[in-house]
Chains A and B, each alone.
Chain A
Amino acid sequence: MMRINNLQLYCLLILATAPLSYLITPAVITHLAGNTNWLAVLAALIPGALLIYVYIYILKKSIHPFPAILEDCLGKIIGKILGFVYILVFLMATAITLRIFTSFIGSSIVPDTPLSVYIGLMLLTGYYALRTGLENIARISQVLVLIGMPASFLILLLVMGQHHEVGNLLPLLQTSFMDFGLATYEGFIILGNMITVLTLAYFSTNREKTPRTLFNVLFTYIALTALSAFTITIHLGEDFANLQAFPTFKLIRSITIADFIQNIDAAFIALWIIGIFGAIMVLWFMTCYVTQHVFALKDYRFLAAPTSVIIGILTLKMGSNIEEEGILLASIFPVIYGIFYVFVPLVIFLILLFKPAPAQGVATGLKTPSA
């Protein structure tokens, strides 16, 4: 039985949520909410906490990990079909994450290298990680988060130390409620990637502490995203930020230390490579794990090879330019995420509300089986 500890669970969930939001979410939210972008992110704390409550309740009432939960609640046939759809959802989530990343690298860093080279190398590395199993993925995620998280905050603090205009924050709440709501939704929806906890919690050595871990992830995510949004506003200003495809990247480019160290965006890219790699790894693991369950296979690791080909093709075909990718990210994926990461868990939550609790002594998502 694979075993991960709660710190590793935290790291896996952070990787599933934070890296993409660090680069993309502030841009999308600033576009919608203007200088109140950071407030929109803070507001996402409420739906985020509610979503976590839904996940916790599902874990509390379920004795099987996701996607077996689907079959337990919706019946075998619907559960299997929905499980299959989830395979596609996770595949797409992996592919879009990879696509956004490679587009960014290709457009901003080394434009002469074909995207397929980046995609191929990332997939090769991810394949290697996946072949080694969840325990190893958890260990890797720990190292990535240990390096990446402090560095991300440090970069933001360095930006805050540069020239900034606090007046950019005013006037507050000039945005319409609609836009503010949409911005909050955009800030919240990435947290849907925490659905992976419905599987990962069952491998935890201390399932009872999963709720605490989930809230820690929520607070870290909100802190990181809100701080990025806040920094973008005070440093770049709403109008200039809206002209940028990747305002976070622009922020980092502006860092100058002692009039000597400058243009340290490469450091950010290095950071983002490991972050996105982590995100891909977690989502790809979910793809393989759900596939194993839906098709009743013995192992998930061998699926890394065939799925890598599918992800590779999907990544190449998804959005022919960065504008299309932006639409995919800002308009299409939030809907898909909303349905599969929020709505379906909500339905399961409602079904489980009327189901009796598992018998005393039976291991659930929040109860570690006795040795």
Chain B
Amino acid sequence: MRYKRGNKQANLPLSTSELIAKPISKQLQENIDDLHRLLERCTDAVFKEFTFGPNRENKGLVIFFDGLVDKTQIEVHLLKSLMLELNMRNDDSFPWPKDEVFKLVYESIVSSAEVKTLDNLQDLCHSISSGDTVLLIDGYNTALVAGTRSWQTRSIQSPENEVVVRGPREAFTETLRFNTALLRRRLKSANFKIENFVLGRITKTDVVLCYIDGIAAEGLVTEVKQRLGKIDIDGILDTGYLEEFLEDNHYTIFSQMEYTEKPDRVCGHLLEGQVCIMVDGSPIALIAPTSFPRFWIASEDYYERYVVGSLFRIMRFVAFLISLLLPSLFVAAITYHQEMIPPPLYITIAATREGIPFPAFVEALLLELTFELLREAGIRLPRAIGPAISIVGALIIGDAAVKAGLVSTPMVVVVAFTGIASFIIPSYNGGIVVRIARFGFLISAGFLGLFGIMIALLIMLIHMSNLNSFGLPYLSPIAPFDLGEMSDIIVRRPWFLNTMRPQMKGMKNADRQAKRNSNDK
């Protein structure tokens, strides 16, 4: 009975998962059957069977996905070489090695720049899904892969979210190889390493880890690799997926990795010993480790003269405080601590608030919510009308609300000023944190005034100082305090004094530039 059942099972066709794990067969027809089964209902899969060699006695198959390849390359480097040029050389001066056809094709006939071999169907499917073309030859259980990737892509454009006045204007695109090329163009060193990972059971997304060997700490690189290796998910569609897997603390609003769409910014970070992670299909690069004070830094700071860069940084720090605390301080002052406000100013505020039906706290909360809604709507709306709608919306709603006596003018000014200040924070994820935290502060101020704000600040401080980004304390170099590094956080240290990289645990080479001779000018 058992024997019978076993026999019956042996005759059953293999399931897709079993089939894909199969090695490539020496019989071309068997491979074709397997691939047809694997790729059934994949209408973009192209199978091109052909014969080549003397008397056309060798059979071959070229397989690729339409739309992912450059067909000209397939025609010129594969099909033309095999089907035409080879047949034209059918004479005695070119002996046909019947037993080593594959070797001959691999070494002498296929003229693609990027050629490799593989021996199982899983790799084969991954290769053609990535835009490569696979050549199978009858009688050989090895496939030849030619790099023919080419698809419609967005060209390299200027960054949308990190606009600069001075400095490079290139931004990453959705094509990973373009992005790595943008980095390689700037870091012309053999020490610049790009390690590849394939993540996502279904998406098989290419993920790269970039770092500069000799600068980045070995421990950091190993740790990132380990964390990447632990990810087992069906799909990775953006760096955002990875961020949540890689970060140290998941239950926080604070982003523990920086992200950017600017290659020059990535290079700057790599030169400081950090690592960068990029995902195929995403124009955003993740940078690790990072700390919260670094969210105030814009790449432009380093392109401007240090005095200007420093002033911008100080302004950004002030903007950060305004963005975080201004509405809550205003609510606390007019609700609980009126004596703090100079009498003439308080009289003006009180006069405008006369007849307002809401307490200051509710008024601020409503206005903040409206502002956030308008901002979000402005982003999601079609680009042609988005800014217009948000500006018109802000003007009309703000004006109407004041005229209707729902909100007071000073509150509108405070919320608008806060909104403007929040746009000064160069990092989007840093800005989001401030936007969220602002509501917490507002609620604390509404209930307990200045005491509430201080308690909220303390809770935020405790939480932040407890965070780490790949071992780097999240508040460094403020806590633990490092005066040397602080001089390049609050202000921008001049390049001629920027002799050391930011200190990171395990960093191999902290020297940034040669020591200057005191006589040098």
Which residues of A are in contact with B by a Cβ distance under 8 Å? 5, 7-8, 105, 109-110, 113, 117-118, 121-122, 125, 128-129, 132, 136, 139-140, 142-144, 146, 260-266, 269-270, 273-274, 277
Contacts and interface: CB of A to CB of B under 8 A. Distances in A.
16 contacts: A7-B481, A110-B336, A118-B451, A128-B459, A132-B465, A139-B473, A139-B479, A142-B478, A142-B479, A143-B465, A143-B475, A265-B340, A269-B450, A270-B450, A270-B453, A274-B458
Interface of B is mostly: helix
A140 B336 contact: no
A128 B463 CA distance: 9
Given A139-B475, A263-B339, A110 B480 contact: no
4 tightest Cβ-Cβ pairs between the two chains A and B = A139-B479, A139-B465, A273-B454, A142-B479
Contacts of A136: 462, 465-466
Contact of A274 (B336, B337, B454, B465): B454
Nearest to B342: A260
Given A121-B455, A128-B462, A273-B458, 4 more contacts: A132-B466, A139-B475, A139-B480, A263-B339
A243 B449 CA distance: 28
A127 to B, nearest CB: 10
Interface string B322-358: 0000000000010011011010000000000000000
B177 to A, nearest CB: 42
Contact of B337 (A122, A266, A273): A266
Contacts of B14: none
B461 A140 contact: yes
Nearest to A141: B479
A87 B389 CA distance: 64
A109 B450 CA distance: 9
Given A260-B342, A266-B337, A277 B451 contact: no
B373 interface: no
Contacts of B465: 132, 136, 139-140, 143
A128 B464 CA distance: 12
A2 to B, nearest CB: 13
A266 B340 contact: yes
B445 to A, nearest CB: 12
B478 A146 contact: yes
Contacts of A270: 450, 453-454
A204 to B, nearest CB: 13
Contact of B451 (A8, A109, A146): A109
Contacts of A128: 459, 462-463
A263 B461 CA distance: 27
B413 interface: no
A142 B478 CA distance: 8
Contacts of A139: 465, 473, 475, 479-480
Contacts, number: 81
B267 to A, nearest CB: 31
Interface string B452-492: 01110111011101100000010100111100000000000
Contacts of A113: 448
Contacts of B463: 128
A7 B480 CA distance: 9
B512 to A, nearest CB: 24
B461 A143 contact: yes
Nearest to B475: A139
Nearest to B452: A121
A167 to B, nearest CB: 30
B337 A142 contact: no
Contacts of B342: 260-262
A105 B473 contact: no
Interface string B77-95: 0000000000000000000
Contacts of A118: 451
Contacts of A117: 448
A140 B451 contact: no
B462 A105 contact: no
A129 B455 CA distance: 12
A269 B462 CA distance: 20
Residue among A117, A143, A273 facing the most chain B CB atoms (10 A cut-off): A143
Contacts of A142: 478-481
B480 A263 contact: no
Contact of A110 (B449, B453, B473, B481): B449
Contacts of B455: 121-122, 125, 273
Contacts of B448: 110, 113, 117, 121
A264 B337 CA distance: 10
B279 to A, nearest CB: 33
A125 B461 CA distance: 10
A110 B451 contact: yes
B479 A143 contact: yes
A125 B459 contact: yes
Contacts of A274: 454, 457-458
A324 B466 CA distance: 39
A273 B480 contact: no
A291 to B, nearest CB: 21
Contacts of B454: 270, 273-274
A5 B451 contact: no
A139 B336 CA distance: 31
Contacts of A5: 480
Residue among A113, A136, A263 facing the most chain B CB atoms (10 A cut-off): A136
A109 B454 CA distance: 14
A299 B457 CA distance: 28
B480 A8 contact: yes
B471 to A, nearest CB: 13
Contacts of A122: 455
Nearest to B483: A7
A277 B457 CA distance: 12
A264 B342 CA distance: 10
A139 B458 CA distance: 12
Nearest to B343: A262
A118 B454 CA distance: 12
A345 B457 CA distance: 37
A186 B315 CA distance: 44
B462 A146 contact: no
A143 B478 contact: yes
Contacts of B481: 7, 142, 146
Contact of B340 (A8, A132, A263, A273): A263
A126 B247 CA distance: 26
